[in-house]
Amino acid sequence: MRDILIKEGLVTNTSDYSKYNGFWANVRTKHLSSEDLQFLRWKYKRKYSTFFKTTPVFKANFPKIDLLRILILRPYYRIKNFITSMGRSERNIFERDRKRFAEMNNFFNRL
């Protein structure tokens, strides 16, 4: 499949395998750049796959942790995220997160 995408010119990162970890967009589509795909992935993960939304299975299996999450952790993170997001656009927050994730992926230059 990768060879087909390379032939079609849809793979934007063919050699930096440190970014083949599931976070970075290494492809593009005919209508979206890899940067646009990266932003959309970040945006919808932030919106729909968060610490604030848990499944009924989690709630049934871990009621004490769920209660801790509801009463203490969720309000804390909401306030923290609100304060750190004040005056910033969604794109600015994305760029901040992207830089942080890029540094997390840089193992050898930290030593």
Per-residue pLDDT of the chain (111 residues; tens, 9 = 90+): 888 999 999 999 988 887 888 888 999 999 999 999 999 999 988 887 766 677 889 889 999 988 998 899 889 988 988 898 899 999 999 999 899 888 876 766 655
Give the span between the Cα atoms of 47 and 90, in whole angstroms: 12
> Are the C-beta atoms of residues 18 and 34 closer than 8 Å to each other?
no
- Entry pTM: 0.69
H or E element: which one contains 96?
A: helix 90-104
Rounded (10°) angle between helices 34-48 and 90-104: 100
- Residue 58 has a pLDDT of 86
pLDDT for the residue 51: 64
